[in-house]
């Protein structure tokens, strides 16, 4: 595992390069996919975004489609790498566990000053739920996206109804992922979660924070060195 106590024990290493790299490839490609996906609809012309200096290309269908394809390729590579990486290491810390819904409610209540937070493992229960929600939406987008690509190939002729359902599925999952991202980013409005932020850039987070809030993980990963 990646975790280590660092620099006179001020910090602990929470993530290795792979996790940080995958997070940012997924995050950036998703933003690009949302932007270029909306470009497939005639939105940017209608709202005159293409009249802004340097943005005339945003309503050019062939350009936004090509951007959508390149970003989709980056996303799918990162997702495949993520699944193999964690699968081979049998590292399933992010998968939901029994009782996560109740624990998430406790964590949210505690943030607002009601009751006490449960003891946490490497990830909070709400992070494990966020992970499956975002991951599931991502898989629907990839699945329906691949079918949409096949559909554009010459000689494919899907029934009209099927094509319509796939487009609806792709659009519905787009809404899910946007909601997921808003909730994900909103978590960082709360000061309690700020100590996690440096971890996704440098891999390191404050040791005292880990000891206090992620006590199960701390004991499991660093128990002997306390
Ligand atoms: C400016 C944008 C973003 C910032 C600052 C950010 C920051 C973070 C941080 C600090 C974590 C916590 C890692 C930990 O527990 O150590 C995290 C986790 C995660 N991020 Fe992001 N993120 C951003 C965008 C995104 C986007 C666009 C996606 C998905 C499309 C995403 C998906 C995830 C997932 C699935 C996790 C794991 C579950 C969770 O912790 O909620 N992130 N991110
Ligand atoms: C975060 C991931 C993604 C988001 C948010 C997203 C969003 C969108 C949106 C909003 C549209 C326009 C509405 C529509 O025609 O359905 C679209 C179209 C499309 N997307 Fe995606 N998409 C994502 C991933 C993918 C992936 C992974 C693929 C391929 C593997 C893909 C392939 C396509 C195709 C082929 C179209 C139709 C373009 C056309 O009209 O010819 N998308 N996407």
pLDDT-based confidence at residue 170 (cuts at 50, 70, 90): very high
User: CA–CA distance from 12 to each of 17, 18, 21, 159, 224 (Å)?
Assistant: 14, 17, 19, 55, 14
**Both tokens of residue 83?**
């699944």
- Residue 86: closest CA among 203, 1, 205: 1
Ligand 2 pocket member 40 (CB < 6 A)? yes
pLDDT-based confidence at residue 207 (cuts at 50, 70, 90): very high
- Measured from the alpha carbon of residue 127, the closest ligand is 1
Mean pLDDT of the chain, nearest integer: 94
CA–centroid distance, 183 to ligand 2, in Å, is 22
pLDDT-based confidence at residue 221 (cuts at 50, 70, 90): confident
- In 30-187, DSSP assigns E strands to none
**Domain edges within the chain:** 1-16+93-226, 17-91
Q: Which one of 145, 162, 184 would you pick to mutate in the ligand 2 pocket, going by the greatest count of ligand atoms within 8 A of its CB?
A: 145
* Domain covering 1-16+93-226 assigned CATH 1.20.950.20 in the classification: yes
Instruction: Determine how many CB atoms are found less than 10 A away from the CB of residue 111.
Output: 16
Cβ atoms 33, 75 nearer than 8 A: yes
Residues 43, 44, 48, 49: is their CA dihedral positive or negative? positive
At residue 47, the pLDDT reads 92
- In the chain, DSSP assigns E strands to 4-6, 11-13, 204-206
- Measured from the alpha carbon of residue 175, the closest ligand is 2
């Amino acid at each position: 595992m990646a975790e280590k106590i660092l620099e006179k024990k001020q910090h602990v290493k929470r993530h290795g390069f792979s996790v940080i790299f995958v997070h940012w490839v997924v995050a950036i490609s998703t933003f690009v996919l949302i932007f270029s996906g909306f470009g497939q609809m005639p939105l940017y012309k209608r709202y005159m975004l293409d009249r802004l200096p340097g943005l005339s290309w945003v309503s050019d269908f062939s350009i936004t489609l090509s951007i959508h394809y390149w970003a989709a390729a980056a996303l799918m590579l990162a997702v495949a790498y993520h699944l193999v990486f964690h699968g081979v290491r049998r590292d399933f810390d992010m998968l939901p566990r029994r009782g996560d819904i109740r624990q998430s409610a406790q964590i949210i209540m505690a943030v607002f000053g009601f009751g006490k937070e449960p003891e946490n493992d490497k990830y909070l229960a709400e992070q494990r739920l966020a992970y499956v929600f975002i991951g599931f939406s991502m898989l629907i987008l990839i699945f329906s996206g691949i079918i949409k690509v096949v559909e554009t190939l010459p000689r494919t002729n899907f029934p009209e109804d099927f094509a319509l359902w796939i487009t609806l599925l792709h659009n519905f999952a787009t809404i899910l992922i946007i909601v997921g991202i808003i909730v994900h980013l909103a978590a960082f409005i709360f000061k309690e979660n700020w100590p996690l932020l440096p971890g996704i850039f440098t891999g390191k987070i404050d040791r005292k924070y880990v000891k206090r809030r992620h006590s199960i993980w701390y004991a499991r990963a660093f128990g002997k060195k306390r």
